Every structure is written in structure tokens, then in C-alpha cells.
Chains A and B, each alone.
Chain A
Amino acid sequence: MKFDLDAVFVEHGCAGYPLATRILRALPREVPVTHVADPRESTRPASGARDPFGAGKRRMVIARRKSAFLAPCPAGSSEFACCGYLVLTLASNCPMDCSYCFLQEFLADNPAFQVYANFTDSFDELDRLIGNARGRSFRVGTGDLADSLAFDSLTAMSRELIEFFASRESLTLELKTKTGEIENLLAMDPRGRVLVSWTLSPDAVYRSSEHLTASPAARIAAARAVLDAGYRVAFHFDPLIAYPGAERDYILLIDELLDTIAPKEISFISMGGLRMTPRLRGAARSRFPGDPMLCGEDVLASDGRLRTFTPLRLNLYRTLADRFRKAGAEIPAYLCMEAASVHESVFGAPPSRPAIIGNRLARD
């Protein structure tokens, strides 16, 4: 899968970084490249564009990141059970275009696809982290503000990341994606320290909402390929969308997954119901007015987000959890952005503390 770009902007001083060199070398000749002193203007929404957010996705900005790369997952808060995930921000935005994507709100003011030329500076942060917490293991992912692999054929960032993580016993890298971009991965030896995870949705959601992504079948096939190449795999059923027929479709999807990948080969699964702030929902509905997946039976929850009304949402979680349980292997599972009481209601036990679950998901 290759994504089109309309233009590339390079911050002064970044062209010499290996990442920028690789991108500029691999870029199609017709894509104009502009060198700029201040990249911020290039990241802003294009004035006059009919869909400024969509246009931003097709504009790449290669810049130097000035703030920290590593941070606790922003979804973690006292109101939700937390999985202990750490995020490494090496890029922001995504060339794919899922109708429900939170980036439509989060990056509304700077929608260009930014990639950080100095991303290997993050390795120092990671070494400091493990140096200060001996005996602990951490799961660190690059798929929060960007898809981890969408532009990997252009950036080849995965190669340097895998090389770094493969030599750190207490770190696990999670590459989260909706693509089948695994060529670079297949050429590397992850030494058990790299986990590739796919968001999985039924065909109905894929066709209606997940524009420019790989099909669910292609994602599962890619997972099989990386598993055979020595990677660990995990799957995120997030967002889980409660449309009519969803239960049946999700069960079929899980069956399709388990036909290809045995339960014991899956490191973990996560689930998270579709949740949108009213502002995000407004932006999403305006960009994708015909998508029925954005018009579920969602109500305003206590966290200010629109979520599928509780009994329906919890029933769907339980349906998926039961299906995995019946598959005969105890696959570690967690819920994303749900209260501990919901976790207990779905799995029959309260969630572990973030440090413990984080440790477990990093090591298993």
C-alpha cells in the first residue's frame, strides 16, 4: 500500500538527517519539496481547502521534535483502568482516513503529516527510562498519533526502532497499524522484543469507515507473516462499533482470525467501544455524512464522550471476550478507556494495577 503526497516541507537543518535523506530519495519525482525555516506554518490547515484535514494528510513535514518523545499514554486517567502503555511520538497524523478517528479533532489545527527527523533522540529517553526502573518491563508504542507503519516504505523508521529495541531486554516495541506494510519488518530480527498489533474491524466497518486501510483479511495475513518472522502479535478491537448485526460480524471476524492465528500465538487483545467527544462527532459527521457507523445508539457518558449506551456496549464486550475464552486459550485482554467497574463486569475480575499489567503485556 502506498499513499500519495501532494507536497513535502523540510525544516532547515533537517535535510542532513538520515531519515530525511531516505524520504527525499524515495519520494516520487513529481512531489514538490520545499525547505522552510519554520515548519509550523506548513503544518496548519490549508486555507480555502474544502477538506482542510484531509488535505493536511497529504502534506508531509519533516521537522525536528523539540519536546519529549516519550510519554504515558494520554488515555490513562484516574477514571479509567490503565494498561500501562507508553507512547513514543515519532510522527503525527495518518495517511489513512478512518471516519471515526480522534485525530480529526486532536490535530484539527495542525493536520499535516509530521515526521520527526531527530527521532533517534528518543532512544536516549528510553535508555533513561529503563535505567531508572530496573527490573521493570515497558511496552512502548509508536501508534498513538500516527499509524506505526503507514509510511514505513518511505521512512524505514521501523528498521532503526527494531534494531534498538531488539537489544533492550526490558523494552517491548509495539508497532500499531491498519496496513500491510511489513516489508521492512520481514528483513529484521526482532529477537522477541517487537510486537506488531493490528486494529481489527468487521468488513462492514472497514468498508464504511476505514478508508485507505488494508482489508481485515489483509491485516490478518500480515499478522501471520510477521508472526512467522519472529514477531509477537496483538489485536485491538477498538473502536468496537455496535451497529445492527455487530455481534455476528465480530464473532465471524474472531473466527477468521483464529483460523489463521492460534490463540496461544496472540500476545494480547484489547477492546474499546467507539467514543467521541461531541466536537469530534461533529467533525466526523461533517467529513463523512453518509457513514452509518457514526450514527450508532450513542449517548453522553459521564466523561463527556458519546458512547454506545452502556448495556449494549458491555454486552458486545462480553460477546467478544466469551468468544476468545471459548477458543481455549487465556489471552490477556484489557479494555481501553473504560472504568475498572466495566472491566470487572466484562472479565469477572478487577483490572491489575497499570504497572503490573504493563509489565505483563510487555513480557508475555
Chain B
Amino acid sequence: MTADEIDTQIRMLAAERRLPPSHLARWLAMDPASRAAMLEIARVIRLRTGQLMTALETLEEIAVRERVTVAGVLDRPEIRRIAGGPGSAPSRASALLEALRTLRYPLLRKMQEQIRSEVAALKLPRGISIALPNELGSDELTVSLRVRSAAELTRLLEALDRSRPGLVRIIEMLAGKQ
């Protein structure tokens, strides 16, 4: 396909999906290889409007952060695996957005994984729940107890006390101390 044909196809897809003009403009402002790669993945995975908008925004930001092209990002093995892999189009679309988000927020994702594995390692009994701040947007850890009797409360508080060093470690991680 020529560059003009690709742009025509992009415009058609944008019209089908009712993509906002600002997003279409951003797509068309990409280099030719990136425009074409984006068109291909949007078709293969059948991205819906919101997904297409998120993908365009995230890809653009990854490209700026890493000083690469969108085509370069879409050509990475982890993305190609999703695009060419098995599964329904909706599940691949979700996997694609998740993979892009991991590329866009590499340290956040790594930190979230580390903290989640610390929480899992506590092996807290049922009745105690730990909620991490959304996207680590604060340093606040929420610890909840669900009890129906005094004995249950005693048991959970004892369990919590035994987990104190691990909880302290998690709080310090949230405060950027580890």
C-alpha cells in the first residue's frame, strides 16, 4: 500500500470507530511506518474506540519517552506475540493495552509487583485485607479487619502483630525507602 492508501484506510477506520478528530490527527502525524503499523494492529486486534484512543496515547508517550518510533514499539516481541497470538480479539486487546502500560510505566509496574509479592508473602489469614494505594498514588496503606466475634478479633490482631515486620517493610516501600 502507498502512504496515501494507508492514510485513506486510517481515515476509514477512524470514521467507523468514530475516533475523535484530535486522535486521528495524532495518528496521521506519525511517521509513515508507524501509521501503517498502528493500522495493522488496530485491524488485527479489532480495537474499539476507547481502546484505540488509549493505545494511540500510550504508544505516543512511550515513543517520546524512549525516543523511538511507534512502529519500533509495535515491533517488539512482547507486542508481536500478543498481536499474532491465540485468543479472542477482546482478550488480545486487553493484553495489548496492559503490555503498553507496562512499557509506559516500567518502574511503577515493577514496584507494584514487588509490593504485591511482599503482601502475598505475609500469608495473612482470611479476615485481614491489605489495600495498596491506587497506582501507588499515595503512601497510604489500608489494613482492614473483618470480624464477627471477640475471639476472631484477638486471632486476627495476633496474626497482624506477627506480620508487623513485613507490614513495616511494605509501608517503607510505599514511602520510597527501599
Whether A310 and B139, one on each chain, are in contact in the complex, defined by CB atoms closer than 8 angstroms, is yes
A345 to B111, CA, bound (A): 19
Whether A291 and B64, one on each chain, are in contact in the complex, defined by CB atoms closer than 8 angstroms, is yes
Residue of B64, B136, B175, B177 touching A309 (CB-CB under 8 A): B136
Number of contacting residues on A, CB 8 A?
25
Smallest beta-carbon distance A324→chain B, Å: 17
Within B112-164, which residues are at the interface with A (CB < 8 Å)? Answer: 133-139
As a 0/1 sequence over residues 295 to 316 of chain A, the CB contacts with chain B under 8 angstroms (1 = contact) are 1010111100001011111111
Whether B137 and A307, one on each chain, are in contact in the complex, defined by CB atoms closer than 8 angstroms, is yes
Decide yes or no whether A18 CB sits under 8 A from chain B.
Answer: no
Decide yes or no whether B95 CB sits under 8 A from chain A.
Answer: no
| Residues on A with beta carbons closer than 8 Å to the beta carbon of B176 | 310-318
Residue of B64, B174, B177 touching A292 (CB-CB under 8 A): B64
Residue of B64, B108, B138, B175 touching A289 (CB-CB under 8 A): B64
Closest to B139 in A: A310
| Residues on B with beta carbons closer than 8 Å to the beta carbon of A291 | 64
| Residues on A with beta carbons closer than 8 Å to the beta carbon of B106 | 297
A313 to B60, CA, bound (A): 24
| Residues on B with beta carbons closer than 8 Å to the beta carbon of A302 | 137-138
A342 to B67, CA, bound (A): 33
A289 to B64, CA, bound (A): 8
Known contacts A310-B176, A313-B176, A345-B175: A299-B136 contact under CB 8 Å? yes
Smallest beta-carbon distance A325→chain B, Å: 15
Decide yes or no whether A341 CB sits under 8 A from chain B.
Answer: yes
A308 to B67, CA, bound (A): 20
| Residues on A with beta carbons closer than 8 Å to the beta carbon of B65 | 292, 295
Whether A311 and B139, one on each chain, are in contact in the complex, defined by CB atoms closer than 8 angstroms, is yes
Decide yes or no whether B168 CB sits under 8 A from chain A.
Answer: no
Whether B107 and A297, one on each chain, are in contact in the complex, defined by CB atoms closer than 8 angstroms, is yes
Give the most central of B60, B106, B139: most A CB within 10 Å.
B139
Whether A311 and B137, one on each chain, are in contact in the complex, defined by CB atoms closer than 8 angstroms, is no
Known contacts A292-B64, A312-B176: A301-B111 contact under CB 8 Å? no
| Residues on B with beta carbons closer than 8 Å to the beta carbon of A292 | 64-65, 67
| Residues on A with beta carbons closer than 8 Å to the beta carbon of B137 | 299-302, 307, 309-310
As a 0/1 sequence over residues 90 to 101 of chain A, the CB contacts with chain B under 8 angstroms (1 = contact) are 000000000000
Smallest beta-carbon distance A80→chain B, Å: 13
Q: Is chain B's interface secondary structure helix, strand, loop, or mixed overall?
A: helix
Smallest beta-carbon distance A11→chain B, Å: 37
A307 to B108, CA, bound (A): 12
A310 to B133, CA, bound (A): 9
A291 to B135, CA, bound (A): 23
Decide yes or no whether A72 CB sits under 8 A from chain B.
Answer: no
Decide yes or no whether A350 CB sits under 8 A from chain B.
Answer: no
Known contacts A310-B133, A313-B176: A297-B139 contact under CB 8 Å? no
Decide yes or no whether A32 CB sits under 8 A from chain B.
Answer: no
A117 to B73, CA, bound (A): 53
Whether A310 and B138, one on each chain, are in contact in the complex, defined by CB atoms closer than 8 angstroms, is yes
Closest to B173 in A: A311
| Residues on B with beta carbons closer than 8 Å to the beta carbon of A345 | 139, 175, 177
Decide yes or no whether A131 CB sits under 8 A from chain B.
Answer: no
Known contacts A309-B108, A309-B111: A295-B136 contact under CB 8 Å? no
Give the most central of A297, A307, A312, A342: most B CB within 10 Å.
A297
Decide yes or no whether B31 CB sits under 8 A from chain A.
Answer: no
Smallest beta-carbon distance B20→chain A, Å: 13
Closest to B67 in A: A292
Smallest beta-carbon distance B139→chain A, Å: 5
Closest to B57 in A: A285
Whether A311 and B175, one on each chain, are in contact in the complex, defined by CB atoms closer than 8 angstroms, is yes
Closest to A318 in B: B176
Decide yes or no whether A290 CB sits under 8 A from chain B.
Answer: yes
Whether A311 and B64, one on each chain, are in contact in the complex, defined by CB atoms closer than 8 angstroms, is no
Known contacts A309-B108, A311-B111: A299-B174 contact under CB 8 Å? no
Smallest beta-carbon distance A319→chain B, Å: 9
Closest to B135 in A: A299
| Residues on B with beta carbons closer than 8 Å to the beta carbon of A341 | 139
Interface positions of B (Cβ within 8 A of A): 60-61, 64-65, 67, 104-108, 111, 133-139, 173-177
- For the complex of A and B, the 3 pairs showing the least CB-CB separation, nearest first, are A315-B176, A314-B176, A311-B176
Chain A to chain B contacts (Cβ below 8 Å), 17 pairs: A291-B64, A292-B65, A295-B61, A295-B64, A297-B105, A297-B107, A299-B136, A302-B137, A302-B138, A309-B105, A310-B137, A311-B176, A314-B139, A314-B177, A318-B177, A341-B139, A345-B177
- Besides A311-B174, A312-B176, A316-B176, 16 more A-B contacts (Cβ < 8 Å) are A289-B60, A294-B64, A300-B135, A301-B137, A302-B137, A309-B108, A309-B135, A309-B137, A310-B138, A310-B176, A311-B136, A313-B176, A314-B177, A315-B176, A318-B176, A345-B139
